[in-house]
Structure 1
Amino acid sequence: MTAIGPPDTAGLTVSVEDLAAAADYIDRLQQYVDDTIRTEMERIKERMKGDNDSPQTVPDATPFGAYEDARLQWQTLTRSTANMESHLQTLAGKLAHLKKGTEEIAQAFRDAEERNAATGKQIERMLESAAQPPAGKPPAQPPRD
């Protein structure tokens, strides 16, 4: 079996603006899950409760009826709804982590760009402040050991 080497990142470019836009998009997705889908799940669960004000004539009856098949179908629907709610919570949590990670990556690149710009300006100042050698004389060479 051949070993997998590191990825070739020679042509890799990073756009901090695109990373920030991705974090905003992830935030909108998370808000949609939290605000819209979870609200609809709560509405579905409320509707599944049925009309609690009317007395049931058959003990252990479900909104689907009191027969064994109706109870099995009701249990399946209840489990399915609970699973969906659990998946939505997991999705919202993963979106929150993805957004946070994307923001951290964007900030790291932003900080690196600022450091590189500061270093470049410092090098420019050092080069500009270096004295020109007198005309006709070659620059002094440092002694060799």
Structure 2
Amino acid sequence: MGDIRPPDTGDLQVSVEDLDAAAQYVERLKQYVDDTISYEMERIKERMKGDSTNSQAVANGTPFGAYEDARMQWQALTKSTANMEMHLKSLSQKLAGLKKGTEDIAQAFRDAEARNAANGKEIERLLESATPPPTAGGQPPTYPYTA
């Protein structure tokens, strides 16, 4: 099949602010699924129940009627509604996982930036505390041993 080369990350730049914004956007999507779409699904299920004040006059009747085709259509509608609810729950869980993963990535980069800043300050401190090389006559320092 050929070899798979790693991606070229030579000019990779990460914006923690953009990652935070992405996590907020995913949260808004999740809220839309949880609140708006799930609410509409509940309304559909309530409407599917039909008029509860008028009970079915025919045994095994559905809001579509009591004929075999009507019962089959009612079963198909009930099954598809249940499947849609299951997919909405799954979508909500996946969006929650995406948000958590995005937040974890952003935090990892924040931690790496903090470590890099601390390491940079430590290097600066060490360089400032080092004694400068002698500049007598522009000659390089001599060493007691030869290679």
1:95 & 1:135 partners in 2: Cα distance? 64
For normalisation by structure 2, the TM-score amounts to 0.90
Q: Name the counterpart of 1:100.
A: 100
Partner of 2:118: 118
Aligned Cα root-mean-square deviation (Å): 2.0
One-letter code aligned to 1:106: A
2:14 match: secondary structure: coil
Distance 1:8 1:134, change over 3 A: closer
Provide closer, same or farther for how the CA distance between residues 41 and 119 of structure 1 changes in structure 2, counting only shifts above 3 A.
same
Amino acid at match of 2:29: L
- Pairwise CA distance, 1:132: 2.5
Structure 1 unaligned regions, length at least 5: none
Q: 1:26 to 1:75 in 2, by over 3 A?
A: same
1:55-74 counterparts in 2 under 5 A? 55-74=55-74
Residue-pair matches, total: 145
- 8 Å CA contact 2:26, 2:99 repeated in 1: yes
1:24 matched residue in structure 2: 24
Instruction: Please report how far the alpha carbon of residue 133 of structure 1 lies from its aligned counterpart in structure 2 after TM superposition.
Output: 3.7
Letter in 1 for 2:96: A
Q: Distance in 1 between matches of 2:111 and 2:146?
A: 39
Counterpart of 1:87, as a letter, is H
SS at match of 1:62: coil
Which sits farther off after the overlay, 121-130 or 102-111? 121-130
Name the CA distance, whole Å, in 2 between partners of 1:112 and 1:143: 42
Instruction: Find the counterpart in structure 2 of residue 34 from structure 1.
Output: 34
* Percent of paired sites with the same residue: 69
Letter of the 1:80 partner, please give it.
S
Give the alignment of 1:49-88 within 5 angstroms.
49-88=49-88
Spell out structure 1 runs of 4+ moving beyond 3 A: 137-145
**Alpha-carbon contact 2:23-2:102 (below 8 Å) kept:** yes
Q: TM-score, normalization: structure 1? A: 0.91
Instruction: Give the unaligned 5+ runs of structure 2.
Output: none
2:86 and 2:110 map into 1 onto residues whose CA distance is 36
Q: Determine the C-alpha separation between the residues in 2 that align with 1:74 and 1:42.
A: 17
Residues 74 and 109 of structure 1: CA distance in aligned 2, closer, same or farther (over 3 Å): same
Q: Larger deviation: 9-18 or 132-141? A: 132-141
In structure 2, the CA distance between the partners of 1:139 and 1:112, relative to structure 1 (3 Å rule), is farther
